[in-house]
A = this chain, B = another copy of it.
Amino acid sequence: MTSERLEAFSDGVLAIIITVMVLELEPPHETTLDALYEMFPVFISYIVSFLYIGVYWNHHHQLFKIADKIDGAILWANLNLLFWLSLIPFTTSWIGDNHIDDIPVALYGIVLLMSEISFLILKKNIINLHGKTSKVSEHLTKNGKNFLFFSIHILGLSLMFINDYIPLACFLIAGFVKVMELKKVYDYMHKVKLDALS
């Protein structure tokens, strides 16, 4: 089974998730700069979520470029990932609606955490299908230990009781950790291409 339609469906869902958030950006009733300024927390959460979903689309893109085949378990693991990512707009707008507050920030962190865990499950299933000794699995295993991501993320969640902006900052840093990871994936794919040519 090839992954074409899985990718098309995922692209569709991710494209919708990333743009659905725009719908929640309700323009202020007044036409003053102050009214726009009051929307600041909404914009911030929009940008953070846009970045996160962009990063996941990027990782997803690379993952299925690397994978040679898929099976039923992968289809489900993918649906699970999409499910958690689909909750990002909801939590984003809860933060945006209420300025920064404890419970919404915690829920946001948990949804981002579950997205990451779902991505790891998806990776795990791809490794299982390809066999642990395959080149694909070797690469995925090596770069699959995002210990740093989880540490920063959970640190952020636990510091929630001190100040609400600290976890948000931690989520942002964790997001950039994921961006850095992408570089490794690109290097790998570049190397594979060179290997294929030589």
Binds B, one of A91-99, A121-129, A167-175: A91-99
B103 touches A31 (CB 8 A): yes
Q: A146 within 8 Å of B by Cβ?
A: no
A88-140 interface with B by 8 A CB criterion: 89-91, 93-94, 97-98, 101-104, 107
B94 touches A28 (CB 8 A): yes
Main secondary structure of the interface of A (DSSP, over half): helix
Task: Give the total of A residues in contact with B, Cβ under 8 Å.
Answer: 59
Q: Which residue of B lies closest to A95 (CB)?
A: B27
Q: A157 within 8 Å of B by Cβ?
A: no
A11 touches B5 (CB 8 A): yes
Of the candidates B18, B32, B54, which one forms a contact with A103 in the assembled complex, judged by CB atoms under 8 Å apart? Answer: B32
10 residue pairs A–B, Cβ–Cβ below 8 Å: A5-B61, A8-B8, A18-B86, A22-B87, A25-B90, A28-B94, A36-B107, A50-B86, A58-B75, A72-B182
